[in-house]
Structure 1
Amino acid sequence: MVFNPTTVKEAQDFIEFVNKSPSPFHATFEASEILRAAGFKEIKERDSWNDGLIERKGKYFFTRNGSALVAFEVGGKYNPGNGFSIIGAHTDSPCLKIKPISKKEKSGYLEVGVQLYGGGIWHTWFDRDLSVAGRVLVEQDGNFKHTLVKVDRPILRIPTLAIHLDRTVNEKLIFNKETQLAPILATTAKAQLSGIEASEGVEATTNHHPLLIQVLADEMNVKPHQIRDFELAVYDTQKSVIGGACNEFIFSPRLDNLEMSYCSIIALTQAKDIDNDSNIRIVALFDNEEVGSLTAHGADSNLLPVTLQRLANTHVIDASKSVSLTAFEEAIHKSILVSADMAHAINPNYPDKHEENHRPEMHKGTVIKVNANQRYATTAVTSLVLKELAKKHQIPIQEFVVRNDSSCGSTIGPMLSAKLGLRTVDIGNPQLSMHSIRETGGTEDVKHGIDLLRVGLIYAFYEEFAVLEQKFIVD
């Protein structure tokens, strides 16, 4: 068997992360656990960061909404006004989300009303073993507790219409997203025989099927009437796995963008030589990228700008000394952002969909993404910085440009670059079937992504960028 057991180990660790992260809330929790294990201290946005809380060589993180996270490590030689070394990624993926009033009943079945979140390939959700995961607000002694829930067994399914009733299905698959993409939960007859009824006076148990509420209650070991509200995503219960004849593939949901989120967090925790770093190293994992990022916990919010401003103005050296009034502005122009979001590998069945000189392949390195219309924020300067560092540390990289006759997706890179005036480079690992319920990536690319962000961007970028940056004579 031809495979590298080291890269498979890296991929296997990532797969464990994905399998524990069926929602952005779970992904943020799992990232927090990785950070805690690496010695990072949790802090709160609502608290003061002065009075000695933030120190040189200190490791910290905080979450917002339970679905976004910012982690940072202060360089041993950091002074206010020094730069920020930032990696940005996102925790969300296209999915179906349970409606606020989801109770439906048709033709002898209980159905669950769902909303479409993001730009999913929705036909891939048919005939899959589905369940729900997310956060639930549970009432306890008059208070409401944010509780994660993940129902591991398949309880939902969206059935396709039999070919005998639609002979054209292999020529075209057309369906109504409101009426024909509703998952079935149970038959009406079995639900009635269960004897499960709504809790009197509790809105959640009347807006949703009591059977669904009971499943959630059993999973969390609470009473149905304690469930007051929730944000639940539908997810595929089939586990992420390593596959291919040579163990070269990852078959998985949510590769976009949990793979780059994972690589970013691992890279930060594995970075060395913080003593000699004059920057603050930052990883920001945002929610809601798939729907435009314009939320309180998305990349188009104040999350990163306010964090950078607070860090620039924090007394990490000597509380008795004043910080320059322009420390934040000075820092921005000494900083760089790596926008880490998955990229398109060439599909062998559709090679004409790629520009002839830009056809990323699996196992050949993380991709630098460029777009003349600024759908990606990469510039010649930021691309060169990355190429120079990758070359120095023998890390493979590739480049991607979309065809002129194709539309181009975007990332958090352009909005953050514009909002902050940050030099930015857009990168991502190559994958197939982006936005399908089941995507395909390469096992070696997990390690490539970690290496590029840790060695090429954290070991080299985080620790050497401040020196390399001075060689570029640009405004």
Structure 2
Amino acid sequence: MQSVTVFNEGLLAFLQASPTPYHAVKNMQQQLKEKGFSLLNEGEAWDLHPGSSYMVTRNGSSIIAWTMPEQDQALEDGIRLVGAHTDSPCLKVKPQPELSRYGYIQLGVEVYGGVLLNPWFDRDLSLAGKVTYRTVDGRLTSHLIDMQRAVAVIPSLAIHLDREVNQSKSVNAQRDLPPILWQFNDDPEKFDVRNWLKDYLEQDEGVTSIDQVLDFDLCFYDTQKAALIGMNEDFIASARLDNLLSCYVAMQSLIEAPLPGSMMICTDHEEVGSASTCGAEGPFLNDVLARMFPGTETRTRVISQSLLISADNAHGIHPNYPDKHDANHGPILNKGPVIKINNNQRYATTSDSSAVLRQLAIHAEVPVQAFVVRSDMACGSTIGPITATRTGIPTVDVGVPTFAMHSIRELAGAKDAWYLYKILSRFYVQRPYVV
């Protein structure tokens, strides 16, 4: 088991190296490969052997990894799954984004997910994602890019021109958000984002044989590095804590204990409902389970004995806004992961699955907390209810308490990711996990 210091160092590095779901999956794939997980291709036949570890990706933005159990073992104990999501709210570049106004080149952006927009102003922004191009010999191929340095900014309007800004600041996503990239000296009509990306790939990435950039999936992100902050370094501050923190914890727990029957699922598009080929509402997990356990009766019996821990960040009680929480359910940072409960099924936790999580926490000597949204407020959701509905696997929703969720920079406790790691590591090795 890693120490909290070593664990957080790895977490910060992972957050910094994963500005998009594509980069997150690539980084997880590399770490899993180093630990002996073999990459499978969905388009090829699979020859799965008990005790061997595998992984498979879809769309380059979702990944499932597992260690294959013996069928008799799976029928008796089920499989132990941890689920998270790879995407985070952000600003994505539109397909025809070119804007030239008053001497400035800007890119039009689309809001992805429930973005807290105000913190995006006056930040040093970079650009990352996937670029798809045609080679000179006619093949289609893709390349991940991460410009890393600050290439854009969304300047605020000066207070002198908006005297009421501190009383009410509303953001018009179409008008207010296009970032400024540079001033132009030549004819602005000549600027084409695809030609610009082609030049970038050739000059900065060393990619050759590009005939034409055809399309892209790019997003802006804050260049400020993930860091431990506070007088005593009590907190982790970073973009994409929701939910790359959970992805990293799940991966490290799986690597720590790659025992037969252990599985990790990290899927894309949770922030927009998970309804995609590689999202939790899509067929990805069921497709993998069907190939692991081809017989319907066998698969149904295995699922009945299984458990999914859906790991997604929770809302910590904010000391400036305590009235936004139920008084008895206000999670505190660094006081342990949070079991998330909603009787209207926005979370998939049941009393039985919650009891299992609490027992794991007792054995791992980790504190846990509980969250229920105020009765007069709407509740968010996770991949937990979606996956439980799609597969029939009993599920518990859990996550580390967080401030400023969906902001460009979120805040979590420096101990809580490690606490969750201890629980998930225990989950993967403890069998059977019953009360």
Contact 2:195 2:213 in 1 (8 A): no
The 1:375/1:139 distance shift into structure 2, 3 A limit, reads: same
Q: Distance in 2 between matches of 1:265 and 1:36?
A: 12
- Which position in structure 2 is the counterpart of 1:290? 271
| Equivalence for 2:16 | 19
Q: State which of 293, 311, 335 in structure 2 corresponds to 1:340.
A: 311
Q: What residue number does 2:369 align with?
A: 398
Query: What is the aligned residue count?
Result: 431
- How many angstroms apart in 2 are the aligned matches of 1:325 and 1:175? 51
1:128 is paired with a residue whose SS is coil
Q: Secondary structure at the match of 1:326?
A: helix
- Counterpart CA distance in 2 for 1:212 and 1:453 is 41
Alignment of 1:61-140 (within 5 A): 61-75=55-69, 78-79=72-73, 81-82=75-76, 83-140=78-135
Specify the code of the residue in structure 2 equivalent to 1:6: S
**Separation in 2, partners of 1:187, 1:9:** 44
The question of 1:255 aligning with 2:251 is answered no
**Partner of 1:458 in structure 2?**
428
Q: Secondary structure at the match of 2:204?
A: helix
Q: 1:367 maps to what in 2?
A: 338
For the pair 1:145 / 2:112, whether they are aligned, the reply is no
| Map of 2:205 onto structure 1 | 220
Out of 283, 289, 293, the position equivalent to 1:312 is 293
**What is the identity, as a one-letter code, of the residue corresponding to 1:121?**
L
**Residues 235, 414 of structure 2: 8 Å contact kept:** yes
Deviations 1:33-59 (A, max 9, x none): 11011110101112222xxx2111100
CA contact (8 A) 1:429 1:445 kept: yes
Which residue number in structure 2 is paired with residue 44 of structure 1? 41
Tell me the distance in 2 between the aligned counterparts of 1:7 and 1:192: 55
Distance 1:54 1:450, change over 3 A: same
CA RMSD of aligned residues (A): 2.0
How far, CA to CA, are the matches of 1:216 and 1:114 in structure 2? Answer: 21
For structure 1, the residue ranges without an aligned partner over 5 or more in a row are: 199-205, 314-323
Q: Aligned partners of 1:423 and 1:401: how far apart in 2? A: 19
Which whole-Å deviations, capped at 9, do the CAs of 1:64-93 have from their partners, x for residues lacking one? 000000001123675564522111100000
User: Aligned pair in 2 of structure 1 residues 418, 209: CA closer, same or farther (>3 Å)?
Assistant: closer
**Which of 415, 418, 428 is 2:389 aligned to?**
418
**Distance between the aligned counterparts of 1:393 and 1:238, measured in 2?**
34
Question: Aligned-pair distance for 1:105?
Answer: 1.0
**Contact 1:382/1:424 (CA < 8 Å) preserved in 2?**
yes
> Would the aligned equivalents of 1:151 and 1:216 in 2 still touch at CA under 8 Å?
no
Give distance in 1, aligned partners of 2:90 and 2:146.
15
Partner of 1:432: 403
Match of 1:58 in 2: 52
Write the letter of the residue equivalent to 2:329: H
Q: Secondary structure at the match of 2:262?
A: strand
Measure the CA separation in 1 of the matches of 2:34 and 2:49: 19
Q: Determine if contact 1:12/1:242 at 8 Å carries over to the other structure.
A: no
Name the CA distance, whole Å, in 1 between partners of 2:157 and 2:296: 65
Distance 1:122 1:217, change over 3 A: farther
The worse-fitting range, judged by mean Cα deviation, of 7-16 and 111-120 is 7-16
Quote the Cα distance in structure 2 between the aligned partners of 1:325 and 1:137: 39
SS at match of 1:220: coil
Task: Say which SS state the counterpart of residue 175 (structure 2) adopts.
Answer: coil
Residue-by-residue CA offset, 1:306-350 (whole Å, 9 max, x unaligned)? 21121112xxxxxxxxxx551111111111111110111111111
Q: Could you tell me how far 1:351 is from its partner in structure 2?
A: 1.1
Q: Secondary structure at the match of 1:111?
A: strand
Q: String of CA shifts for 1:423-462, please: whole Å, max 9, x gaps.
A: 110000111100000111111112111111112x1122xx
Q: Encode CA deviations 1:237-294: one digit per residue, 9 max, x unaligned.
A: 111111111111111000000000110011001016x3xx5xx211110000000000
The CA deviation at 1:175 is 2.8
Same amino acid, percent of matched pairs: 39
1:350-369 Cα shifts (integer Å, max 9, x gaps): 11111111111111111100
Residue in structure 2 matched with residue 268 of structure 1 by the alignment: 254
The answer as to whether partners of 1:80 and 1:312 remain within 8 angstroms in 2 is no
Determine helix, strand or coil for the equivalent of 1:464.
Answer: coil
Larger radius of gyration: 1
Q: Distance in 2 between matches of 1:25 and 1:214?
A: 21
Query: Take 1:432 and 1:443, find their aligned partners in 2: how far apart are those partners?
Result: 13
TM-score by length of 1: 0.87
- How far 1:135 sits from its partner (Å)? 0.8
SS where residue 94 of structure 2 aligns?
A: strand
Matched position secondary structure for 1:35: helix
| Equivalent residue number for residue 324 of structure 2 | 353
The 1:382/1:144 distance shift into structure 2, 3 A limit, reads same
Q: CA offsets per residue over residues 115-161 of structure 1, 9 Å max, x none?
A: 11000101111111111101111333321222110001111111110
Q: Is the contact between residue 8 and residue 444 of structure 1 (CA under 8 Å) also seen in structure 2?
A: no
Matched to 2:418, the amino acid is: K
Aligned-partner SS, 1:179: helix
CA distance in 2, matches of 1:212, 1:55: 43
Give the Cα separation in 1 of the matches to 2:432 and 2:263.
Answer: 15
Secondary structure of residue in 2 paired with 1:124: helix
Residue 319 of structure 1 corresponds to: none
Mapped contact 1:240–1:250 kept (Cα < 8 A) = yes
Partner Cα distance (2:74, 2:372) in 1: 38
TM-score, normalised relative to structure 2? 0.94
CA distance in 1, matches of 2:380, 2:296: 38
Are residues 325 and 93 of structure 1, via their aligned partners in 2, closer, same or farther at CA, if it must alter by over 3 Å? closer
Matched to 1:151, the amino acid is: M
User: Secondary structure of 1:178's partner?
Assistant: helix
Query: For 2:74 and 2:42, how far apart are their aligned partners in 1?
Result: 19
Task: Give the AA of the match of 1:311.
Answer: M
